[in-house]
Amino acid sequence: MKSDELFALLRRRGFLWPSSEIYGGAQGLFDYGPLGVALKRRLEEAWSAWFLGLSDDYHAIQPSELLPEAVVRASGHLENFTDPEVTCGHCHHAFRAETVLEKVRPEGVDGLSATAIAELVAQHRIACPSCGQAALTVPAPFNLMFGVDFGVTGREKAYLAPETAQGSYLAFARMWEVGRKTLPLGLAVIGRAYRNEIAPRQVLFRMRAFTQAELQVFFDPASFAVPFSAVRDERLPVLRADRRAAGATDVEWTSAAELVAGGLPEFYVFHLAHLFRFFRDVLGYPAERIRLFEKSEVERAFYNRIQFDAEVRLDSLGGFRELGAVHYRGDYDLGRHAKGSGKDLAVTLTDGRRVLPHVLEITFGIDRNLWALADLHLAVEDERTVFRLPAYLAPIPLGVLPLLKKEHGPYARSLLDRVRRAGVPAAYDASASIGRRYARMDEAGAPYCVTVDGETVDPSHPAHDTVTLRQRDSRAQERVPVEGLAARLAEPLRPPRPPAPDAAAS
């Protein structure tokens, strides 16, 4: 399905639409409707269950989305949080350099200087995407942060958080005091981030306000024990930087053990393998569409020592797109904030050593993955559209449908309340024919529907207090008792968790 077709379907069903739509929309901003909000919440819950489940010492926090200027100055964002910009000298439109060069340099422009970007534009005679003229120039890098006036007088400066990560670094000292004072310590944030994108595009992939899920793991660089045996034999689809430099473009399926033997730390590969498993086993992305793309020293972010982007091939966007990543950031973050704040952020371990923790970051785009779920799981089959989401991600896990509104509606309403009280989110639909209602539920991704009919409500009928349970994917139907229905659905609606942290020894 093409991008515009997919977006049209999501908008029609009320998953999402352009923000300020009645004014013509606002570029790079989108609103979520009821189904979108529910899907987003399920995705966040699945992410939390999986990644906080990796350790008893990984916790969720919720930091402020406003950062004083001193914070972003210390973090390096004032100096380094920029995007190479390309401007047309004819129509004066501005574009991200990565966008206009994506066909001649699909690996992106990370690490390239403005001079190198200008040379590529000139060499390939890149035309302006807006007016078609070959008049593109490369001005100074553009800082992506939104600045805001802060305080009553407005003389102070603050910034909307460009990433959720900074909140975890600022919270580390406090969390060390209120926690068990042991490393590793993981702090997870699901929150909003804001970037003044030069040219927002590809719907949810380049937005000016979006949701991130990030886990920052603070650890002792001399010792970060993980149950590596749990992933040792996992084969991962990697595209290493050295192979790309030699001209390779295809992934190489490599075991986690082989990656460690090749020089990557066990703790890094352990978390990389679990990010891959989350994409494959929890979100249901086909393994052959996933690749773990290593960034070279020149390409990766300035603070990273190791960086693999988790990319998925999406038909709607014409190729691989980054949906998450694992970064080994060293001691850059706490080191910068210690210097900027004047506070010693080193901690004393049980063996008496004084250590400035290093950071491993797992980052995940909620909005991007919502789009990816639609790209990979929404399908048009025969005359129906079906959203084949895993049951625990479905915006509507259960549809409750009376066969006839007047005769069977009261019982169906009572059943709706009953399953909701038992913890099963459900929706009621009594409009149009039963076939039309099934079709609506299929399109919304509901994995189960129950239909209340005359046999259900007739006390004298042998099938009294039973309903027809329909499964979305197979369309199979069976008669089941109302008693125990919620308990039956509880397990498939529960998001998966990784094996218990102590289930496998290193």
What is the per-residue pLDDT for 121?
86
Same domain, 117 and 131: yes
Same domain, 130 and 165: no
Is 290 domain-assigned?
yes
| Single pTM value for the model | 0.90
Helix (H, G, I), strand (E, B) or coil at 135: coil
For the chain, the residue count is 506
**What kind and span of H or E run contains 384?**
strand 384-387
- Domain end point (choices 376, 398, 419): 376
pLDDT, one tens digit per residue, over 248-273 is: 999 999 999 999 999 999 999 999 99
Identify the band that residue 140 occupies on the pLDDT scale cut at 50, 70 and 90: low
- Name 469's bridge partners: 450, 478
What is the per-residue pLDDT for 504?
43
Q: Is the predicted pLDDT of residue 506 greater than 60, yes or no?
A: no
pLDDT, one tens digit per residue, over 387-439 is: 999 999 999 999 999 999 999 999 999 999 999 999 999 999 999 999 999 99
Same domain, 99 and 231: no
Is 418 domain-assigned?
yes
Rounded CA separation 193/89 (Å): 32
Structure tokens at 96: 């991200």
What is the per-residue pLDDT for 19?
96
Task: Give the single-character DSSP code of 445.
Answer: T
Same domain, 403 and 466: yes
Is 504 domain-assigned?
no
Helix (H, G, I), strand (E, B) or coil at 435: helix
**Cα 236 to Cα 59, 257, 274, 310, 488, distances in angstroms:** 27, 10, 10, 11, 35
Same domain, 233 and 194: yes
pLDDT, one tens digit per residue, over 437-448 is: 999 999 999 999
Q: Is the predicted pLDDT of residue 505 greater than 60, yes or no?
A: no
**What kind and span of H or E run contains 355?**
strand 354-355
pLDDT, one tens digit per residue, over 14-62 is: 999 999 999 999 999 999 999 999 999 999 999 999 999 999 999 999 9
Rounded CA separation 453/455 (Å): 6
Is 101 domain-assigned?
yes
Three state DSSP letters for 106-117:
CCCCCCCCHHHH
In the chain, the number of structural domains is 3
Same domain, 133 and 206: no
Q: Is the predicted pLDDT of residue 503 greater than 50, yes or no?
A: no
pLDDT, one tens digit per residue, over 320-379 is: 999 999 999 999 999 999 999 999 999 999 999 999 999 999 999 999 999 999 999 999
Same domain, 444 and 474: yes
Is 495 domain-assigned?
no
Closest CA to 215 of 36, 343, 44, 349: 44
Same domain, 11 and 29: yes
Instruction: Tell me the range of 92-106, 189-203, 218-232, 292-306 where mean pLDDT is highest.
Output: 218-232
What is the per-residue pLDDT for 502?
53
Identify the band that residue 139 occupies on the pLDDT scale cut at 50, 70 and 90: low
Token match 């994409």: residue?
279
- Domain end point (choices 376, 395, 413): 376
What is the per-residue pLDDT for 325?
98
Mean pLDDT of the chain: 93
Same domain, 28 and 133: no
Q: Is the predicted pLDDT of residue 127 greater than 50, yes or no?
A: yes
Q: Is the predicted pLDDT of residue 151 greater than 90, yes or no?
A: no
- Using a pLDDT cut of 70, give the percent of the chain over it: 98
Same domain, 116 and 196: no
Same domain, 358 and 472: no
Is 500 domain-assigned?
no
Q: Is the predicted pLDDT of residue 110 greater than 70, yes or no?
A: no
CATH code at position 87: 3.30.40.230
Same domain, 46 and 89: no
- Domain end point (choices 96, 119, 143): 143
Q: Is the predicted pLDDT of residue 133 greater than 90, yes or no?
A: no
Range of the domain at 476: 387-490
Q: Is the predicted pLDDT of residue 501 greater than 70, yes or no?
A: no
Is 382 domain-assigned?
no
Is 506 domain-assigned?
no
Closest CA to 382 of 422, 435, 430, 434: 435
